[in-house]
Amino acid sequence: MAPDTLHERGLTLHRAGRFAEALESFDAALALAPNSAELCNSRGNALRRLKRLPEALASYEKAIALAPELGAAWNNRGLVLQAMRRLDEAAASYRRALELQPQLAEAYNNLGTVECELGRPAAALASFGRALELQPRLRGVHGNLGNALRDLGRPAAALAEHELAVLEDPRAAASHCNLGNALHDLGRLDDAIASYDRAIALDPGYAQAYFNKSACLLLAGQFAQGLPLYEWRKQLPDAAAPPLGVPVWHGSEEIAGRSLLIYADQGLGDTLQFCRYARLAQQRGARVALGVQPMLRELLASLDPGIRVIGLEDEPGECDYQCALASLPLALGTTLEEIPAAVPYLGADPRRSAHWGERLGRGGFKVGIAWQGSRRRIDVGRSAPLAMFSRLATVPGVRLISLQKGAEVEPPGSGGPPLELLAGLDAGPQAFLDSAAVMVHLDLVITSDTAVAHLAGALGRPTWVALKYVPDWRWLQGRADSPWYPGMRLFRQSSPGDWAGVFGALHAELARIASAAARPA
């Protein structure tokens, strides 16, 4: 059979989803025509669909070596590099494809997706827009455009794009899931849940849809329904793997006299929030080893002398059971009314506390601030602009003290507040040891939704948290307080992006309490 005939046969099999058979045809054709760039490109496509990514990459690169001007091979090479999480290289490959074929709408769409993953949603927006100009009916662009708009904090515009994506392909589970995300961001939780349910009906194993649904239920305070679905996080691509091959503790197994490894499986803030549950497991008679991010090990040693705190990579020793830290609320039957909220449950190092007390001195009403949390896509919209804190600095007697590690502070005259920077704050490999010691001497902590909020709450310090319109589930809906941290106050946006309203309320309340503190007793 001639190479062209074998190639055409392979393309037909590929379109039918019979990728292994397509690969056989491409290999047979290449045995007869080993210097065909088009065949190498087609072979790469089959290998990519079979998830044999290194081989696919090699096949695309051979195609490029044979025909450097083949834009499709550069575009496909970008897809493999993106799947391998080599994002900068993927973006460069897409750009090279567009240099060779400026009308290649698919490459603009692909470039936009990697720009989103690289945290460049504005650039992605332009790429998706160009893709639609070139090919208005190109599948998938509306959904991608909606994701970029979501990253830019424009949920209403994102909703419109995701509605178009659903109309484009009502059977695409991902489109319904993305629509649910936009509805969630607008506070339409019931509608969001309905969209996630449609996604799950189309794809019963769709972990992201289950996980996103759990966030809506938990945000609404429906712990009994939400916590079981929250377990779907373990099926997500970036989920932490269980460290041991021992049985999982689900809460029903007897653990008195048994050894239990509890391991952190989420971010730093989650570890600070949920480490309280290790005490509850210990109270059931378990010998508890708590595996945490290595940078938190020393801080969490203050949790309980009977709990052995280790780094996640440390050898835990023999254990009878294991449990992810964020699964303990489910295992221990947490309800909204029975959240374990005794604070403080962490403490500052006395030596560090004395050191920072001397450096801070006694003057003024000392307010520690943090404005920037994680820069991951899941945290979009949580961080407040530093310039918003400028109004707080106008309150007489107030000293704003940065709790932001590695802070990038705007230069004078740029709109940022006068801010005291603490040289050497948490400069070592351990996180938050100095922050905890500083907080002991502060009159108040004001922070966006960052790990600093959970640290201050765990220490039992007076804390105000500035929250976006629809915050992370743990802050619940419509409350000015937190059942997780007694005494903490929450200041919420009244509409998406309304930081001005939040900081207006913070300013008024800060002025009130700072004035009261300044009056003679």
Model pLDDT for residues 339-350, shown as the tens digit of each residue: 999 999 999 999
The whole-model pTM stands at: 0.91
Rounded-to-integer distance, Cα 248 and Cα 136, Å: 50
Which of 449, 489, 456 is closest to 470 using CA atoms?
A: 449
Topology of the domain covering 259-338: Rossmann fold (3.40.50)
Rounded-to-integer distance, Cα 232 and Cα 327, Å: 11
Letter for the amino acid at 194? A
Reading the block at residue 54, the tokens are 């290194």
pLDDT tens-digit map of 74-128: 999 999 999 999 999 999 999 999 999 999 999 999 999 999 999 999 999 999 9
251 — phi, psi (to 5°)?
Answer: 105, -25
Question: Is the pLDDT confidence value at 455 over 80?
Answer: yes
How is residue 420 annotated by DSSP?
B
Question: Is the pLDDT confidence value at 42 over 80?
Answer: yes
Given the structure tokens 């105000």, which residue do they identify? 464
Spatial neighbors of 140 by CB under 8 A, at least 6 apart, are 109, 165
Res 237: pLDDT: 87
The CATH code of the domain at 350-518 is 3.40.50.2000
Q: What angle do CA 334, 339, 345 make, to 5 degrees?
A: 125
Contact 176, 167 (CB under 8 A): no
Res 240: pLDDT: 85
Rounded-to-integer distance, Cα 463 and Cα 487, Å: 8
**Which residues lie across from 291 on neighbouring strands?**
263, 310
pLDDT tens-digit map of 370-427: 998 766 666 678 889 999 999 999 999 999 999 998 655 554 445 567 889 899 999 9
Q: For 344-363, what is the mean pLDDT?
A: 95
CATH ID of 3-235, from 1.25.40.10, 2.60.300.12, 1.10.357.10, 3.40.718.10: 1.25.40.10
Question: Is the pLDDT confidence value at 280 over 50?
Answer: yes
Q: How far is CA 491 from CA 367, 456, 472, 501, 502, in A?
A: 16, 16, 14, 9, 6
Res 379: pLDDT: 66
Give the chain's mean pLDDT: 94
Sheet holding 489-492, edge to edge: 398-402, 365-370, 444-448, 463-467, 489-492
Contact 252, 332 (CB under 8 A): no
How is residue 481 annotated by DSSP?
B
CB-count exposure of residue 451 (10 Å: 0-12, 13-18, 19+): buried
- Per DSSP, the three-state class of 350 is helix
Where in the chain are all domains bearing CATH 3.40.50.2000? 350-518
Where in the chain are all domains bearing CATH 1.25.40.10? 3-235
Question: Is the pLDDT confidence value at 187 over 70?
Answer: yes
pLDDT band of residue 516 (cuts 50, 70, 90) is confident
Q: For 353-362, what is the mean pLDDT?
A: 95
CB-count exposure of residue 2 (10 Å: 0-12, 13-18, 19+): exposed
Res 412: pLDDT: 46
Q: How far is CA 351 from CA 116, 346, 357, 438, in A?
A: 44, 15, 10, 11
Strands 398-402, 444-448: pairing kind: unpaired
Question: Is the preceding peptide bond at 344 cis, omega within 30 degrees of 0?
Answer: yes
Task: Quote helix, strand, coil % in the chain, to nearest 5.
Answer: 55, 10, 35
Count, residues in the chain? 521
CB-count exposure of residue 281 (10 Å: 0-12, 13-18, 19+): buried
Give the sign of the dihedral formed by CA 318, CA 322, CA 325, CA 329. Answer: negative
Res 417: pLDDT: 76
**CA dihedral defined by 187, 381, 112, 213, rounded to 10 degrees?**
-40
pLDDT tens-digit map of 224-272: 999 999 999 999 988 888 888 899 999 999 999 999 999 999 999 999 9
Res 134: pLDDT: 97
Rounded-to-integer distance, Cα 450 and Cα 373, Å: 5
Q: For 3-31, what is the mean pLDDT?
A: 94
Angle of helix 71-83 versus helix 53-66 axis, rounded to 10: 160
Given the structure tokens 């949390």, which residue do they identify? 373
Spatial neighbors of 195 by CB under 8 A, at least 6 apart, are 176, 177, 179, 180, 183
How is residue 463 annotated by DSSP?
E
